[in-house]
Structure 1
Amino acid sequence: MPSPESEHIPAPRVGEAPPEPHDAPSESGRQADAPGEAALEAEPSLHAGLEAILLVVDEPVPEVTLAQILERPRQEIAEALRELAAEYTAQGRGFDLREIAGGWRFYTRETCAPVVERFVRDGQQARLTQAALETLAVVAYRQPVSRARVSAIRGVNSDGVIRTLTLRGLIEEAGHDPEHQAVLYRTTGYFLERLGLNDLDELPDLAPYLPDDLEGIEELQQ
């Protein structure tokens, strides 16, 4: 005896293919389920968005700024930041996420300081890279100057180079900008010693050493 379900399924006519079961996936359904396709079209997660932004910042970023950029409530941003910080600590990562000076930023973990110091100091005798020389010149001629200002003049992020120059003793912190509270940097006595100068007034004029069409030269020498 045919089952009750089979009574509702019409028999195929001659030359016709049998009907597909109702639960068989359609071609469009199979294409939509292609591996990775949905992930490529979806927006990044909140955690991923926060990590991407914090990897490129020069200064600690306030929660309200992150909330505006990611279009999420500030409380949700604050909770996500603390979740990331706790996750990095639990996993024993070499970096952590800290709330400093009213904002959030990545820092190398304190327990890794000896390793980082050895890495930087092992290259003390090596010549400075082009990026380090450019950054050092900006600090020397514009001091005291913030990281953001250095990056704006160079046109690239200079955060890592500034940390290297600081660890090498060529530049140091010189207080905070009264308007934006950004950390300011200046050259050190060791910088003068290495260049054989008595004071900054003996720095040479930059104009003869740079192309006439170099943008920003006026800013650098002011």
Structure 2
Amino acid sequence: MSDLEVVSDHDDDHEPDHEPEPDEAADEQFAFDVNDFPGGARSAIEAVLMVVDEPITEMSLASALELPVDDVRGHLTELEAEYAADQRGFTLRSVAGGWRIYSRSDYAPVVEKFLLDGQQAKLTQASLETLAVIAYRQPISRSRVSAVRGVNVDGVVRTLLNRGLIEELGSDGDGGAFLYGTTDYFLQRLGLGSLDELPALAPYLPEVDLLDEIAEQGRR
């Protein structure tokens, strides 16, 4: 062997031509066609619905499953009808701008007994009344809620905030007091698509146009 001959410790022929980038590896890991699954696209949609903890939009489902939005909407509607026809213990509903699986209202006594057996998880009457005032008069300050109800509501408002039923919506420009309103979770719990679906105010609360007058009287 001449002095100019060099034997390399590495064989270039065995080196990979291209190392996959992280994004490429992720794409390969999650590459699939929902129609290849045993139950097809509908079963794939069901699988996703079983793990969401809040309503999921048709657009989000379509993006995750790489399906046209119209196809997703059609599958959701068919699933909803199928569950109703089979009298399943659960139902699929469109709530707060998205879709989610819920236990059927017919079985509310069974579910309530299971969840509440041995514990008090219901809202108190004071909490329900305060929540109603906020729902119908939002955005509204804590002091005005107190004036309408005629009692201090600080503790009740904290409870409703902790339960995720209300949230702060900014502050009053005049006095700087926090303003409160209901959350999407509130709509979910009531099974409403929007606040427009709230039932008529009477006879649960005074007429809406009288609430401001009552509040002003309470502040005097």
- TM-score if structure 2 supplies the norm length? 0.40
Bigger radius of gyration: 1
